[in-house]
Amino acid sequence: MSDASSLTPVISFDDFLKVDIRVGTVIEAEPFPEARKPAIKLKIDFGAPIGIKKSSAQITENHSPEKLVGSQVLAVVNFPPRQIGPFMSEVLTLGVPDVAGKVMLIRPDRDVPKGGRLY
């Protein structure tokens, strides 16, 4: 077992607090065929004051658009928007690799209030 500090730079707790990770509910999900790698376009409702934000996520191996609608996900909401082909991604939806290295979304195991911040 390796020491976690050897894997990534050590940051301060104040640095961690700068990353704003919130829970939102997927209200729309559709294939994104224009992306270089298979992806899904998401509209995620984070509630007030953040509102609805768009995200492009490379999650097609483990997730389908129709099953994502209504589910909750975690996303970084304070990165600058990023142009992905013809689509502007406003938040970074978070996931971890499964045993095959494919993205599995990070989600609460039961519904929680929209906009809740990870701590």
Mean pLDDT score, 24-38:
95
The answer, yes or no, to whether residue 1 has pLDDT greater than 50, is no
Q: Which fold, 12-105?
A: OB fold (Dihydrolipoamide Acetyltransferase, E2P) (2.40.50)
Count, residues in the chain: 119
Give the pLDDT band of residue 7 (cuts 50, 70, 90): confident
| Domain boundaries of the chain, sorted by first residue | 12-105
pTM of the model: 0.91
If you write DSSP's letter for every residue of the chain in order, what string do you get? ---GGGTS----HHHHHHS-EEEEEEEEEEE-TTSSS--EEEEEE--TTT-EEEEEE--TTT--HHHHTT-EEEEE-SSPPEEETTEEE-SEE-EEE-TTS-EEE---SS---TTPBP-
Give the residues across from 76 on adjacent strands. 21, 92
